Amino acid sequence: MSDMAQARPLADAVKPGAPRQPWTISAKLVDTAVQVAVILALAAAWEFGARYGAINPFLLPPLSVVLERLWSDLISGVVPVDLGLTLYRALTGFLIGAALGITIGILMARSALVRWFFDPLISIGFPMPKIAFLPIFILWFDIYDTSKIIMVAFSCFYPIVSATYAGTSGLDKWPIWSARSFGARERDLLWEVYLPMAMPQILTGLQVALPVGMITTIVTEMLMGGRGIGGTMITAGRFADSVGVFAGILEIIILGFVVVKGLEMIRRRLLVWHPESQR
Amino acid sequence: MMMAAKAHHIAQAASSISIHDVSHSYGGRGGGQVMLALDRINLDVGDCEFHCLLGPSGCGKSTLLYLIGGFIPVQAGVIATAKGPVSGPGPDRSIVFQNFALFPWKTVKDNVLYGLKKAGFDAGEREKRAQDYIDLVHLTGFENAYPSQLSGGMQQRAAIARTLAVDPGILLMDEPFGALDAQTRRVMQEELRAIWRRSRKTVVFVTHDVHEAVFLADRISIMSARPGRIEHVIDVDLPKDRGEEILEDPRFIQFSERIWRLVREQAVAATRGAH
Ligand SMILES: Nc1ncnc2c1ncn2[C@@H]1O[C@H](COP(=O)(O)OP(=O)(O)O)[C@@H](O)[C@H]1O
Ligand SMILES: [Mg+2]
């Protein structure tokens, strides 16, 4: 039974002579180390460039000063409130966009009627700058959270609906035939086969939509004012508080990094079965 | 438990298949070329018969199996089982596909459990049967592996376990041992024959391996190359109890040679037809 010993990542005996696991780990480590080094070098250039007069410290305040401000705002509670509000708006909008996008994407793939209705709407809407709808949402809803969240959901909807539609329309027939032969009914197939099968593409849609949602949140906050990272940055700008503006930039960078990495982790979790997770 | 009893009952019911004047063609939609894949197939597979379809590649063996399985609609003629004319897939006819068709997002164990859950076995019974059939195909230790982590042969065995576990009355198998190495294939052939002898099911088994057909079958249908027709239906005149020793039995060797000559005629006719 020679083919029994051929389970690739499971069998601990990797091909004899092939470099063993530690080698790949150290390659990954080197990768990370280089990336961290580049970021540190940029941070150092920023710090010293600003501190020793290469750049006007009003236009670009030294990193240490910005970090100090971030720290004091963190203690005073300004940063947690701003971060919390921005994150709440971004994620709520994203989740609403995802729920609608995934549902409509699947329905479009399953029913010609739904496809006829939404296809033109999506073709027209996708390339449009969604932010242009903001005045409408402000008129229809409010100048607070509702219109911001709807704006975010609206901008996240497009990449998600098109990825889901693409993912669920050209499905491999074999798992579907398998499920049918075991007695699955049409409505079982959605949860049991279509969704798991389209999951890689749906997740890709979500990964495209998430940064779009973050951008939309910040821009909406900037346009409408009030609390939240974007609003606070615009206020700082109006008061010529350049340290405050750069503190906002750092907050956005950190928030964006955490949220995007979080979604990447979810992807790895959901797709453990996929060959992409086994490289 | 009640459902399990029901599933068992189906397996006990008469499981014959009758195929009457079935033709099938591909293409032709949107003005494309029509290609006749099956030409007026007539075949009766009896209850608890082990029937092999033997023929050159491209002669329509898979197509015939998909028609019996109800995966593609019958265009001409009738296919019927004890439950009436076939109009779609159903758990009374389980299939092992040529390309395994496992659920890639489920582990080996969960693939096997899926069919058992659909068949209505209760939770404890499901666990036990799943493990039994995983052991049977020698995948013990790989219960939690995903298909993409397995070799082709292992995936094929997982697919066989998944289908055998639900104990269907009619078992359709499309070159199910094609991806296995020679030794594993031999073991699986004996295993399958033993299971069939124990559980009394009707099997339609597609292969292009003459020895495999002769070793396994009660009857063999030899198909012609495109368009697929059934040219000969031959009773396998060998003892019901077949172990490894039968391979050296002169009757087995002689019979295989006879089948081989008939198959070769078809292959030769096919190459001549192509010129
Ligand atoms: N979906 C399809 N569309 C068009 N032609 C097909 C399709 N499936 C099979 N065929 C053709 O029908 C013939 C029979 O195919 P198949 O049933 O797969 O044969 P076998 O299993 O005996 O190799 C082949 O010539 C094949 O190319
Ligand atoms: Mg085939």
Is the ipTM here above 0.85?
yes
Q: Which residues of B187-203 are buried (b: 16+ CB within 10 A; e: fewer)?
A: ebbeebbebbeeeebbb
Task: Note whether B119 and B3 are within 8 A (CB).
Answer: yes
Mean pLDDT of A223-236: 92
Domain termination residue (choose one: B140, B167, B194): B167
Task: Note whether A91 and A258 are within 8 A (CB).
Answer: no
State the Cα–Cα distance between residues B73 and B174, nearest whole angstrom.
18
Residue B41: closest CA among B92, B75, B70, B77: B77
Domain termination residue (choose one: B114, B141, B167): B167
Co-location of B20 and B65 in the same domain: yes
Phi, psi of B205, rounded to the nearest 5 degrees: -120, 120
Digits of tens for pLDDT over chain B (275 positions)? Answer: 444 444 444 444 578 999 999 999 998 777 778 899 999 999 999 999 999 999 988 899 999 999 999 999 999 999 999 889 999 998 899 999 999 999 999 999 999 999 999 999 999 999 999 999 999 999 999 999 999 999 989 999 999 999 999 999 999 999 999 888 998 899 889 989 988 988 889 999 999 899 999 999 999 999 988 788 999 999 998 888 888 888 888 999 999 999 999 988 887 877 776 54
**How is B63-112 classified by DSSP, letter by letter?**
HHHHHHHTSS---EEEEEETTEE--S--TTEEEE-TT----TTS-HHHHH
Co-location of B179 and B253 in the same domain: yes
Co-location of B76 and B179 in the same domain: yes
Co-location of B26 and B74 in the same domain: yes
Assign residue B88 the CATH number of its domain: 3.40.50.300
In 10 A of CB A115, how many CB atoms? 17
Co-location of B108 and B176 in the same domain: no
Which of B25, B52, B59, B64 to mutate for ligand 1's pocket (most ligand atoms within 8 Å of CB)? B59
Where do the domains of chain A lie?
A: 20-54, 62-272
Phi, psi of B176, rounded to the nearest 5 degrees: -70, -15
Residue whose Cα lies nearest atom 21 of ligand 1: it is B62
Is the CB of residue B102 less than 8 Å away from at least one CB of chain A?
yes
Task: Note whether B180 and A38 are within 8 A (CB).
Answer: no
What would the pLDDT profile of B4-41 be if each residue is shown by its tens digit?
444 444 444 578 999 999 999 998 777 778 899 999 99
Phi, psi of A93, rounded to the nearest 5 degrees: -60, -45
pLDDT score at B198: 86
| Helix extents (H) in chain B | 2-12, 61-69, 108-118, 123-136, 152-165, 182-199, 210-216, 250-274
Pocket of ligand 1 (CB under 6 A): B 26-27, 35, 37, 55, 57-63, 226
Q: Do A197 and B105 touch (CB under 8 A)?
A: yes
Report residue B40 CA to chain centroid gap. 21
| B37 CA to centre of ligand 1 in angstroms | 7
Residue whose Cα lies nearest atom 16 of ligand 1: it is B60
For domain A62-272, say whether CATH 1.10.3720.10 is its number: yes
Task: Note whether B63 and B24 are within 8 A (CB).
Answer: yes
Q: Do A182 and B105 touch (CB under 8 A)?
A: no
pLDDT score at A279: 63
* B19 SS3 class: strand
- What's the whole-model pTM score? 0.82
Half-sphere exposure in the Cβ direction for B45 (13 Å, CA): 31
* Domain extent at residue B212: 4-92+168-272
Give A57's contacts (C-beta < 8 A, 6+ positions apart).
Answer: A50, A51, A65
Nearest bound ligand to the CA of residue B61: 1
